[in-house]
Amino acid sequence: MLPYQMRTFDGYLDAYRRSMEDPDAFWADVAGHFNWHRKWDFVSRSDFDNAQFSWFGGAMLNITENCLDRHLEDKGNDIALCWEPNDPAKAVRKLSYRELHREVCRAAEMLRWQGICKGDRVCIYMGMVPELVIAMLACARIGAIHSVIFGGFSAQSIADRVEDAGARHLICCDGAFRGAKEIALKDIVDDALVRCPAVANVIVFRHTGCPVRMLEGRDHWWHEVMLNVDDQEALQHPAESVDSEDPLFILYTSGSTGKPKGVVHTCGGYMVYTAYSFANVFQYQPGQIHFCTADIGWVTGHSYIVYGPLCIGATSLMFEGVPTWPDAGRFWHVVDRHRVDILYTAPTAIRSLMSFGEGPLEGKDLSSLKVIGSVGEPINEEAWQWYHDQVGKGRCPVVDTWWQTETGGILISTLAGVTPQKPSFATLPLPGIFPVLLNERGQEVTALHENGYLCMAASWPGIIRTTYGNHERCRAAYFNQFPGYYFTGDGAYRDENGYYRITGRIDDVLNVSGHRLGTAEIENAINEHPEIVESAVVGFPHDIKGQGIYAYVVHTPDIAQPDALRNEINETIARFIGPFARADKIQFVSGLPKTRSGKIMRRILRKIAEGETQQMGDVTTLLDPGVVEEIALNRL
């Protein structure tokens, strides 16, 4: 048991009180259980007006020593990483802490050989293989900043991210397996890098064995450059000592503008917060197997497959495949095969598996499960109940964990078996987290069951530090709306117990199958099609995806085939963003409802997409009210 793990509700209340009375003392206590090269001069400093936050100021450390080296003595032979391949017939890979440590040291040496230095940005586009984790940790070991790009993103999206990060190095795989599909990742990288002449170095890990083109001088095989590395030297090379506030990684996420933001997290605070939240929310006990089904291309994978679990010496299981291949019993097979203790997945996966009924669960032994978790979007009661009854067999606490890429780790959640749970409620904040609900005028909403904007009244170690290359954007997006607060972009209310229920985004950000997408981003992609004049994208409730994408599109006169154009529009979206951003519904309209100043009235379009075609609210400010009638009449 970890000293900062709360084990009872009273323990939680006590910790919460301590965190309120003296936050710095509270966090210093937690941070005392990590390895630092140099102790901090101060615990925290916050300047909300300028969006400037530091944690463990002046401290020096290397996060990978906390993830690896410090476990070698006691847990060197324990499994750190267990890899379940896409194809269940292929071999599982297990890396002990000693083995993972050695691989990370070797990969770090390889990166040094390739001329990568502290502070350099390294983009990683690999799919779910152990070498992805090794590559991330190798970057962290030498003080380079990794930016993992989800394997579903298109060449254009890779190029945008590589360019924004100013990366001159990229690590990828030849290909990736995804269910029955094989994806040629290196080909996509080649397309992307045509637009990124600054990238001088590409390291390719061979995974699928598919044919790839290697550009002389730029592209290198991972296994070949690894031949330069002397294992003894690699093991002896000390990890880079970095400042607590040096960046650890950049992770791009969507906002309400067309351009994704590079969320920056730093070493000390992120380390402390992911380990602290992991240990407490999931109540991890030594020897347990933690299976987070997320892709490491998203923050959930960063925090709860890689950094959080490894920091506390857990066994983390990573899964290459998809929930429904070869059949809808795949997760249950993995749980059974590895005797998984903790399962952490997304509502969209739960709803999708629920739609197959109980058949796929039959014959699977899920008795090893102790805690089951949900993340990424509000979980509806029906899915919660099914998860609780059919997967947890009514005996596992369900943790509905609310957080964001920007928060680094879980802020509001039940602590498994320690604090109460309630279907579709994220429930209570972790000690050290101080949520408030504000109304439009910035006043606190105190009434029960009344919706407000969810904000945080104080900083915590995992808070976003900046948006890469543009600090003003960070300030404007999160700290401007309500001075003195971090603004989440979510709406929420509280029940009579003070439990939080998150109701969803209140900005133009969609959450489609747990993937975060900006409506403006999708519109920009659609507008790239030569036959499209303009478009407006909104979300609508979708049984499995949570939210679906509804696009209203104005095309040029005289198009031949509306259905062919619909396909082309989706091809365009796939090309500019990625296949996962395809529109579920595309309605051709003669015009969009706009105010006299030219602003699209999304409120109306949202209502129509949701199926409300009568009560449209005030349309008198519209330039052409007639267009609303037409759109409502032809709704898909």
Task: Return residues touching ligand WT7 (CB under 6 A).
Answer: 253, 298-300, 375-378, 400-405, 426, 488-490, 502, 504-505, 511, 516
In order of 26, 431, 497, the CA distances from 21 in angstroms are 9, 11, 22
Give the DSSP H/E element, type plus range, for residue 368.
none
CB of 160 to ligand WT7, least distance (A): 17
CB of 402 to ligand WT7, least distance (A): 4
> In residues, how long is the chain?
636
CB of 146 to ligand WT7, least distance (A): 17
CB of 555 to ligand WT7, least distance (A): 31
| Residue given tokens 């998860």 in the structure block | 387
Cis ω for the linkage preceding 562 (within 30 of 0): no
Which of 193/281 has CB closer to ligand WT7? 281
**Which of helix, strand or coil describes residue 597?**
coil
Which of 375/589 has CB closer to ligand WT7? 375
CB of 159 to ligand WT7, least distance (A): 21
How far apart are alpha carbons 332 and 336 in whole angstroms? 6
C-alpha dihedral sign at 602, 608, 611, 616: positive
CB of 442 to ligand WT7, least distance (A): 20
Which of 114/407 has CB closer to ligand WT7? 407
| CB-based contacts of 164, cutoff 8 Å, min separation 6 | 252, 259, 260, 262, 468, 469
Which of 247/378 has CB closer to ligand WT7? 378
CB of 347 to ligand WT7, least distance (A): 8
Which of 43/474 has CB closer to ligand WT7? 474
Which of 67/492 has CB closer to ligand WT7? 492
Which of 149/565 has CB closer to ligand WT7? 149
- Partners of residue 547 on adjacent β-strands: 541
Residues 573, 522 contacting (CB under 8 angstroms): yes
Which of 352/401 has CB closer to ligand WT7? 401
| Residue 416, both tokens | 């498994």
How far apart are alpha carbons 350 and 295 in whole angstroms? 16
CB of 252 to ligand WT7, least distance (A): 10
| Residue 325, both tokens | 């291949």
Strand ranges in 458-600 using DSSP code E only, listed in sequence order: 466-467, 486-494, 500-505, 509-512, 515-518, 532-542, 546-555, 585-588
**Buried b / exposed e across 497-529, counting CB within 10 Å, b at 16+?**
eebbbbebbbbbbbbbbbbbbbbbbbbbbbbeb
Nearest C-alpha neighbor of 269 from the set 23, 500, 68: 23
CB of 524 to ligand WT7, least distance (A): 19
| Residue 618, both tokens | 């005030």
CB of 300 to ligand WT7, least distance (A): 5
Which of 84/400 has CB closer to ligand WT7? 400
Which of 299/350 has CB closer to ligand WT7? 299
